[in-house]
Chain A
Amino acid sequence: MLRYLLKRLLIMVVTLWIIITLTFVLMVSIPGSPFNSEKSSNEIVQANLERHYNLDEPYYVQYLLYIKSIVTFDFGPSIKQPNQSVNDLLARGFPISFELGIVTIIVAVFSGIILGILAALKHNGFIDYLMMGIAVLGISIPNFILATLLIQQLAVKFSIFPVATWSSPAHMVLPVLALATGPMAIIARLTRSTMLEVLTQDYIKMAKAKGLSPWKITIKHALRNALMPVVTIMGTLLAGILTGTFVIEQIFAIPGMGKYFVESINQRDYPVIMGTTVFYSAFLIFMLFLVDIAYGILDPRIKVHKEGE
Chain B
Amino acid sequence: MEKILEVKDLHVTFTTYGGTVKAVRGVNFYLNKGETLAIVGESGCGKSVTSNAIMRLIPDPPGKISNGTILFKGTDLTRVSEKEMRGIRGVDISMIFQDPMTALNPTLTIGTQLMEGLKQHHKVSGAEARKKALEMMDLVGIPNPDERLKQYPHQFSGGMRQRIVIAIALICEPELLIADEPTTALDVTIQAQILELFEKIQHATGVSIILITHDLGVVAKIADRIAVMYAGKIIEVGTKREIFYNPEHPYTKGLLNSVPRLDLQGEKLIPIDGTPPDLFSPPTGCPFTARCPFAMEVCDKVYPEVSALSDSHQVNCWLQDERAKQLLAEAVTK
Contacts and interface: CB of A to CB of B under 8 A. Distances in A.
A206 B168 contact: yes
A210 B117 contact: yes
Nearest to A209: B95
A225 B57 contact: no
A208 B89 contact: yes
Interface string A196-228: 000001110111111111001000110011000
Interface stretch (B4-12, B98-106, B203-211, B325-333): B98-106
B55 A209 contact: yes
A205 B52 CA distance: 10
A209 B94 contact: yes
A205 B88 CA distance: 15
A225 B88 contact: no
A298 B116 CA distance: 19
A211 B107 contact: no
Contacts of A205: 57, 97, 103
B89 to A, nearest CB: 4
A210 B89 contact: yes
A208 B165 contact: no
Given A211-B91, A300-B152, A220 B57 contact: no
Contacts of B120: 210-213, 216
Interface in B153-175: 154, 165, 168-169
B113 to A, nearest CB: 8
A211 B86 CA distance: 4
A193 to B, nearest CB: 18
A206 B179 CA distance: 12
B192 interface: no
B57 A203 contact: no
B46 interface: no
Interface in A160-210: 201-203, 205-210
A203 B99 CA distance: 10
A207 B88 contact: no
B116 A212 contact: yes
Nearest to A227: B107
* Interface size range on A against B: 20 to 34
Contacts of B106: 203, 225, 299-301
B302 interface: no
Contacts of A203: 102-106
Given A203-B105, A225-B105, A210 B152 contact: no
A221 B90 CA distance: 16
Contacts of A221: 105, 108
* Interface size range on B against A: 20 to 34
B95 A202 contact: no
Contacts of B261: none
B120 to A, nearest CB: 6
Contacts of A299: 106-107
Interface string A38-77: 0000000000000000000000000000000000000000
Contacts of A298: 107
A209 B116 CA distance: 12
Mostly helix, strand, loop or mixed at chain A's interface?
Answer: helix
Contacts of B95: 206, 209
Contacts of B200: none
A301 B99 CA distance: 19
Nearest to A206: B103
B241 interface: no
A111 B67 CA distance: 42
Nearest to A199: B59
B57 A209 contact: yes
A224 B120 CA distance: 20
Given A209-B55, A210-B168, A224-B107, A202 B94 contact: no
A210 B168 CA distance: 8
B87 interface: yes
Contact of A301 (B90, B152, B169): B152
Nearest to B121: A211
Given A205-B57, A301-B154, A211 B89 contact: yes
A206 B165 CA distance: 9
Nearest to B85: A211
Contacts of A201: 102
Nearest to B82: A214
A21 B116 CA distance: 54
Contacts of B165: 206
A210 B117 CA distance: 5
A224 B107 CA distance: 7
Contacts of B102: 201-203
Nearest to A300: B152
A280 B19 CA distance: 58
A301 B108 CA distance: 10
A213 B120 CA distance: 9
Contacts of B94: 209
Given A202-B97, A205-B57, A206-B165, A211 B105 contact: no
By Cβ-Cβ distance, the 10 closest A-B pairs, closest first, are: A211-B90, A211-B89, A210-B117, A202-B102, A210-B90, A203-B105, A209-B95, A300-B152, A202-B103, A211-B86
Interface of A: 201-203, 205-213, 216, 220-221, 224-225, 298-301
Given A206-B103, A206-B168, A225-B105, 17 more contacts: A202-B98, A202-B99, A203-B105, A203-B106, A206-B104, A209-B90, A209-B97, A210-B90, A210-B116, A210-B117, A211-B121, A212-B86, A212-B117, A213-B86, A225-B107, A301-B106, A301-B152
28 contacts: A201-B102, A202-B97, A202-B98, A203-B103, A203-B105, A205-B57, A206-B103, A206-B104, A207-B105, A209-B55, A209-B89, A209-B90, A209-B169, A210-B117, A211-B117, A211-B121, A212-B86, A212-B116, A213-B86, A213-B120, A220-B108, A221-B108, A224-B107, A225-B105, A225-B107, A300-B107, A301-B152, A301-B154
